[in-house]
Each structure stands twice: as structure tokens, then as C-alpha cells.
Amino acid sequence: MKVAMVGNPNVGKTALLNALTKGNFEVGNFPGTTVEKKEGRARVGGREIVFVDLPGIYSLEAHSLDEKVARDFLINEKPDLILNVVNASNLERNLYLTLQLVDFKIPMILVLNMIDEAERRGIVIDADKLSKILGIPVVKTIAVKGIGVEELKREILKDGRIPRLVVGKDLNSKLKMAEKIAREVVTFEKAKLDLTEILDEVFMDRHLGIPIFIVFMWMMFTFTYTVASPLTDLIDLAFSALSERISSLNGIVFALIGDGIVKGVGSVLVFLPNIAFLFIALALLELSGYMPRAVYLMDRIMTAFGLTGRSVIPLIMGFGCNVPAVMATRTIEDDRVRIATILVNPFMSCSARLPIYVLFAGIFFPKLGTAVIMGLYAFGVAVALISALIFRKVLLRGEAEYIIELPPYRIPNLRDVWILTWNRTKHFLQKAGTVILAMSVVIWFLTSFPSQNIEESYAGILGRVMQPLFAPMGWDWQFVLAILMGFVAKEVVVETLGILNTPIAQIMTMPQALAFMVFSLLYMPCLATLATIKAEAGWRWTIFAVVYSFVIAYVTAFTVEVIARLI
Amino acid sequence: MNAFVLLVIAITFFKGFIVKKKSYGFVASMIAIIFAILMTLVFLATGSFGYGILGYLALPAFVWYRRRLFIEGRGT
């Protein structure tokens, strides 16, 4: 039996899926899209049931990708039953979608979730009356606590009922009917003290809202990078030791396995703690109800650049690492804004580039090092925002359609947090790992043949061949090779200069150094980021990201070098 | 940035005193405790001590605000 779970965002569909399947669900994508799909299985009363959690949507009018995916699923997959999950605190708004689902003539059950929140607010719903009006079973639940789930399972076994309500086809008829039904079944009693109102008074405060948001972002940043760092170091150590051990054995096969495959796999897995910790932090923000507040607070600023409030979190995460930052764009509903955020994310200077700035700033700007580095970060942000504006005006045109809804705050269920984190992290490993693994073998080949000496390898030859392209910046071939190696991972830039024993201060001038730092800031993202962009946006946008960032980096670096020389 | 966090917590407490609303003190103490938990994790991960750990001192204040808010409602 296939059951589709449909409802507005933030109504608790995932928590309900978790409760119904006891955590036995997987996260993937709907075929041919980057829209997240959660599918779980459960044995209920001896019957095998597949639950498909469709994306949270407000209507089925197919204006956004999420709505289109949900509508196409209902038409093409023809589920046996629809569980329409509704937030009991906002019945009227949720009923608009319910009345659209009626048109599909598929058996339905309406799940009135978060009934405890509604009661706290003094909202009382006559579920029996609602069931009579709609002609379908109505079940009250508190999904995060598992309350009402057994009754829901009993109703599922009865296969629901096809709604017999007659509803006009047009928007206005449905809105009026939703209002009428809500008026008939909802009554209001004296509300208990509302935690949501208390928290929103401060979190949405005109003066404190944004500083508090920055505080939470800083905490998320610290959790993702600093707290995860021992695990990152451990994985790095383990894979480095393993790689050295294997490549120390004689034979080209061992060299391939050690320096190519193990090193390649290690270069992906070293990000794993950061990714997992990021997903934990995001899950906590999403499930607690704070995320929509953050989106609302930053929305006006982001809109000026063609983005939305939801773009802020991925952009801030980009300061740590662009890989999890690109993954974090999944929370952006509008596909055009999501693609724009993905494309500009690499301009947010990741932590891997910091060693480059520190090295060159230390040599050429000993007194102004901090100011120069901060300037680079700020410049990266400026390029990101201006690029976003250009993309939205030229390539990804159109008004971003989204609704910001402020759901009630809840204490996140730790089991939901764990399951969401695990499923998303697993998905990352599967997608990013395959491309990285293949490319690492290629890079190993280029740096190991025809000579083990990097200067005489294909990579070294490539550095000399490519050097004339960068002649306008006046860089020697060692710097060009370092830039090329930085394509694998930005940390490798400094590592390459170290291996070549490059006398930086002797063969480079200050304008050239500044241009090098600017180029490092802006040029194409590392392999892992590109693999992630490919997974999230497809090959076309990945190639565009490479070409665009290279052109911007080249032109900007050249301009900086010329201006710095003239000053 | 850790100093910025402590500053925001302090300003939130201060605003609560000015506008006479307990919700600000409640939220400020809550943020202080969350920050203290995070600084504890940072200490365990890196050995680096941050003054944010002292946020645990806000626990009695959090309990007091929570009790007063749920018994008396908002305001003084």
C-alpha cells in the first residue's frame, strides 16, 4: 500500500513519518530533481505500507518546483491513500490545500497534528464535525510524542474514504469554503501562556532580532567547525597514515591505492564531521521553529540582491566550508534563488583559503595583515551579492514565490534530529564521494607520471604550459601550478608552494601577491564543492560556476595587480 | 565574536529591565545557557577555555523567569 503524506511546511510530516515507521525511512531526491524525498516503510496490521513524505506545500497550483513535484506524484504515482497532515493551530490556512486534494478523488485521512499547541492557544476543534463535513476520517495527533499514532494506523488499515465534499474549482471558492468550515468547527477558549509569543517578542524584536540571529549563526558555525575539529583531525590522521602505509609498499598498484584512492576517499570523508554537525545544527533550528524567524529577519536585506532570507544560512556557512554550505541550500524552496545561492556560495571565502591569505599577508603586509585578510572576506561577500543580483536579473529571472510562515516553537525531538541528520549525511556521501574518488585517481596520475618529481610530472608540465595565460599577473610557473593544484582542495595551494620550496618574497612583488590572493578568493571552487554543486544543480550549472568564477577571478586579479602597481 | 555574544546577552537583559518585560530576561538567560553548553563542547574538543562557560550562572535566573512568566504572565 502506498501512502502519500501531504501538507503545508512545518506541520510535522517528518515527525509523523518517523512515528509511523519507527525511524525506518530514507532521504533521497524525487527523480530528476533536487527536491528532497523521504520514504519509509512500516508493517501495520500485517500489511506492508510505504509512506512517501511529499515536500511541504501551500497549494497544488504548481508555481514552484515543490508544488509541481507533489502534484506530479499524486497524478502519476496514484497513491492508495493520502494522509493530509494539518497544523491544528491554523486550520483555515491548511484547509485550502485539503480542498485541493479533494479534487484528486483519492481516499484521504486528515491528521490534525500539534493538537497540544492548539489547545495551549485556546483553539478547540470539533474533529467529529470536521469529519462529517469533509466526509473523511479525522485523527488528532501529537506526532513528536507519538500520541494518536495508533488510532491513525487503525484508520489507515480501513483505507480512508474518498472525500464527498463538493468544492468549486476556482481559488476563491476554495478559500471561502476553507473559511466557512473553520468557522463551523473551531472555537476559542482562554489561551494558556503562549511560549511562542514570549520568544517571538524577543527574537523578532526590531533592534535585537538580527543581533540574536547573528549569535545563533555564530554558535552554529562554532559547532560545525570547532566542535567537529577533533573528529576531522582524527579522520585526516587515519587516512593519511593509511595512505602512507599503503603507498610505501612497492608497486604501482599500491601507489594508486595509497596516493590515489585512499587519499581521494579521505579527502571526502574528512568533511564528514563538519557535514554531520551542520545537519545536526540545521535540524535543531528547523525542528525548534526558529528557522522561519531567521528567514523573516534577513528577508528584506536579501531581497535587495534577488535572494531570500533562506539564502543567509548557506552563505554564512560558506565561510567555513562551501561543501556543507551548498548542501544547506536545500532549505530554499524557490529553485531560481536556490541555484543563485549555490552559484555565489564559492565567493564566500572558505576556511581552506585562509592559509593562503595568512602566508602572503604575512610576507607582504606584515603590519596590515588582519586588515588585508578582512578586506578579502568583505570583497568576497560583495562579489557574491552583486553576482546574485546579476544572475537573478539575467539568467534566473522571476519573482521568488514563497510564504514565510511562523510555526509555534517546539523542543526538538532528539530522535527526529538524529534520523534527519543521518539520512541527509548518508545522501551526501553517496553523491559527492563517487565523483571525488574518480577525480582523485586522475590527479594522482597527473602528479605521478611521467616522473615522481612534481616539477617533471604532467602536472608540472601543465603548470609551465599554463604560465603564459597568467603572464599578465606576472606569476612564475610555481604559483600557476599551486593554483592548479588548488582545484583539488584549496589547502593544497600552500602545500604545493611548500613542496616546491618557492622563494615567494624573492620572486613576487606586492601587487602580484595581492592579485594572487584575490585570484585565490574568487577562482573556481575545489573539487568537493564542484561535486556537491553537480549533485545539487546539475552539470550545466557546475560548468557555468567554473567558467564564471574563473573569468571573474582573472579579470579582478589583473585589475588589482595593475591598480596596486600604479599606487 | 564570543564577546559579541556576551554583549547581545547583556543588552537583552538590559532591555528587559528598561521595558519591564520578563520575556527578555527569560530569553537572555536561555541564550546564555545554550552558549555555555556550546563553550563546554568547545573546551572538550579543543581544550580552549571561553568565558561563555560562565553562562551556567544564568540557570537560576532562567528558572526564576520561567516560574514568574508561567504564574504571573508577562510584565513585572
Spatial separation of the C-alpha atoms in residues A413 and A447, rounded to whole Å: 49
Is residue A267's pLDDT more than 70? Answer: no
Residues of B in contact with A211 (CB under 8 A): 4, 8, 11
Between these two residues, A321 and A509, which has the higher pLDDT value?
A: A509
Only one residue has cell 563517487, namely A434
Residue A268 has pLDDT above 70, yes or no: no
A113-162 pLDDT, tens digit per residue, is 999 888 888 889 999 999 999 999 999 999 988 899 999 999 999 999 99
ipTM: 0.94
CA dihedral sign of residues A478, A484, A486, A488: negative
Distance from CA of B59 to the nearest CA of A (A): 17
User: Where do the domains of chain A lie?
Assistant: 2-188, 209-400+423-433
Q: Which of A3, A2, A6 is nearest to A96 (CA)?
A: A6
pLDDT for A192 beyond 70:
no
- Mean predicted lDDT score pLDDT of chain A: 85
How does pLDDT run across A239-253, given as a tens digit for each residue?
Answer: 889 888 888 888 888
Q: Rounded to a whole number, what is the distance in Å from the CA of A409 to chain B's nearest CA?
A: 13
DSSP string, A154-169: HHHHTT-B-------S
Instruction: Answer yes or no: is pLDDT of B50 > 50.
Output: yes
- Residue B24 has its nearest CB partner, among A202, A227, A229, at A202
Q: Using the beta-carbon criterion (under 8 Å), do B31 and A212 form an inter-chain contact? A: yes
Identity of the highest mean pLDDT range in A33-37, A180-184, A188-192: A180-184
Contact B55, A215 (CB under 8 A): no
Residues 6+ apart with CB under 8 A from B44: none
Each residue of A106-124: pLDDT tens digit? Answer: 999 999 999 988 888 888 9
Q: Which residue has the cell 585570484?
A: A519
Give the per-residue SS3 of A92-126.
Answer: HHHHHHHHHHHHHCCCEEEEEECHHHHHHCCEEEC
Residue B72 confidence (pLDDT) = 62
CATH classification of A2-188, choosing from 3.40.50.620, 3.40.50.300, 3.30.70.20, 3.90.1310.10?
3.40.50.300
Q: Which helix (H) or strand (E) holds A466?
A: helix A458-466
Q: Who has greater pLDDT, A188 or A186?
A: A186
Q: Are B38 and A227 a contacting pair at CB < 8 A?
A: yes
Strand partners, A26: A39
Mean pLDDT of A461-479: 88
Which secondary-structure segment (H or E) carries A51?
strand A47-53
Tally Cβ neighbours within 10 Å of residue A304: 10
Amino acid at A562: V
Q: Do B46 and A198 touch (CB under 8 A)?
A: no
Cβ contact, residue pair A198, B74, below 8 Å: yes
Cβ of A208 and B1 within 8 Å?
A: no
> Is B41 in Cβ contact with A227 (below 8 Å)?
yes
pLDDT at A385: 93
Which residues does chain B have within 8 Å of residue A207's beta carbon, measured at their own beta carbons? 15
Contact B4 A227 (CB under 8 A): no
B8–A226: do the CB atoms touch at under 8 Å? no
Tell me which residues of chain B, numbers 3 to 42, contact chain A at a CB-CB cutoff of 8 Å.
4-5, 8-9, 11-12, 15, 21, 23-24, 26-28, 31, 34-35, 38, 41-42
- For residue A281, the chain B residue with the least C-alpha distance is B38
**Which string of b and e fits A100-129 if b means at least 16 CB within 10 Å?**
bbbebebbbbbbbbbbbbbbbbebebebee
Using the predicted structure, report yes or no on whether residue A402 has a pLDDT greater than 70.
no
CB contact under 8 A, A198 and B31: no
Give pLDDT tens digits for A335-383: 889 999 999 999 998 877 877 888 888 889 877 777 788 788 889 999 9
The helix/strand/coil state of A47 is: strand
Predicted confidence (pLDDT) per residue in A378-391, tens digit: 899 999 999 999 99
- The CA-atom distances, in angstroms, between A346 and each of A269, A337, A481, A557 are 20, 15, 21, 16
Size of interface A-B (CB pairs under 8 A): 65
Q: Give the mean model confidence (pLDDT) for residues A156-177.
A: 85
Name the closest residue on chain A to residue B9, using Cα atoms.
Answer: A212
Distance of CA A465 to the CA centre of its chain: 38
Residue corresponding to grid cell 566550508: A321
- Among A219, A274, A284, A409, the residue to mutate for chain B (most B Cβ within 10 A): A219
Give the pLDDT confidence of A472-484 residue by residue, as tens digits.
888 988 899 888 8
Q: Is the pLDDT of residue A491 over 80?
A: no
pLDDT at A430: 67
Chain A contact for B74 (CB, 8 A cutoff): yes
Q: How confident is the model at residue A79 (pLDDT cuts 50, 70, 90)?
A: very high
Residue of chain B nearest A202, judged by CA positions: B24
Task: Answer yes or no: is pLDDT of B75 > 60.
Answer: no
**CA of B5 vs chain A CAs: smallest distance (Å):** 6
pLDDT at position B76 over 80: no
pLDDT beyond 90 at A26? no
**Is the Cβ pair A193, B41 closer than 8 Å?**
no
Return the residue matching grid coordinates 512500516. A42
